[in-house]
Amino acid sequence: MNQERLLIIGHGMAATRLLQQLTEGGYGGSITVIGDEGGVGYNRIQLTPWLAGEVSEASLNLVDDAWYRHHRIYRVNGDAVASLDPDGLVTLSTGRTLAFDTAVLATGALPRFPDLPFPPQPAIRAFRSKADGHWLKALPRGQSVVVIGGGLLGLEAAWGLRARGHSVSLVHRNGHLMNRQLSAPTAALLAGAMSQAGITIHLGCELRRINANPVIESVELTNGEILNARVLIAAAGIQPNQHLAQQAGLGVHRGVLIDDQMRTSHPRVFALGECAEFNGETFGLVAPAYEQADVLASVLCGRPAHWSPLQSTTRLKISGLDVVSHGRIDHPDARHLTLNAPGRNQCRRLHFLNDRLIGAEMIGLRSHLELYQRLIEQQTPINDARAVMLGNMKAA
Q: Give the DSSP H/E element, type plus range, for residue 45.
A: none
Nearer to ligand FAD, 285 or 385 (CB): 285
Rounded least distance, CB 133 to ligand FAD, Å: 8
Nearer to ligand FAD, 171 or 382 (CB): 171
Nearer to ligand FAD, 318 or 334 (CB): 318
Nearer to ligand FAD, 104 or 347 (CB): 104
Closest CA to 288 of 314, 270, 265, 254: 314
Nearer to ligand FAD, 155 or 375 (CB): 155
CA angle 386, 388, 390 (to 5 degrees): 75
Rounded least distance, CB 77 to ligand FAD, Å: 10
Maximum pairwise Cα distance, the chain: 68
| Residues making contact with ligand FAD (CB under 6 A) | 9-15, 34-37, 44-45, 47-48, 80-81, 106-108, 127-128, 153, 156, 241, 244, 273-274, 284-287, 289, 315, 317
Mark residue 185 as left, alpha or beta (left: phi above 0; alpha: psi -120 to 50; beta: remaining): alpha
The span from the CA of 224 to the CA of 217, in Å, is 16
Question: 362 Cβ partners below 8 Å, 6+ apart?
Answer: 322, 323, 324, 325, 347, 348, 349, 369
Rounded least distance, CB 261 to ligand FAD, Å: 17
Rounded least distance, CB 93 to ligand FAD, Å: 8
Rounded least distance, CB 305 to ligand FAD, Å: 19
Rounded least distance, CB 230 to ligand FAD, Å: 21
Rounded least distance, CB 356 to ligand FAD, Å: 25
Closest CA to 265 of 274, 281, 253: 253
Q: Give the DSSP H/E element, type plus range, for residue 142.
A: none
End-to-end CA distance of the chain: 54
Q: Which residue type does 283 have?
A: F
Closest CA to 242 of 225, 260, 264, 221: 264
In angstroms and rounded to an integer, the radius of gyration of the C-alpha atoms of the chain is 22
Rounded least distance, CB 272 to ligand FAD, Å: 7
Length of the chain (residues): 396
**Which residues share a beta bridge with 31?**
6, 73
The span from the CA of 340 to the CA of 342, in Å, is 6
Nearer to ligand FAD, 188 or 287 (CB): 287
Nearer to ligand FAD, 128 or 176 (CB): 128
Nearer to ligand FAD, 12 or 150 (CB): 12
CA-to-CA separations, 24 to 3, 21, 65, 297, in angstroms, rounded: 18, 5, 17, 9
The span from the CA of 358 to the CA of 379, in Å, is 8
Q: How many CB atoms are closer than 10 A to CB 30? A: 16
Nearer to ligand FAD, 63 or 337 (CB): 63
Rounded least distance, CB 275 to ligand FAD, Å: 6
Nearer to ligand FAD, 8 or 388 (CB): 8
> Residue of minimal CB distance from ligand FAD?
12
DSSP state of 140: P
Rounded least distance, CB 11 to ligand FAD, Å: 6
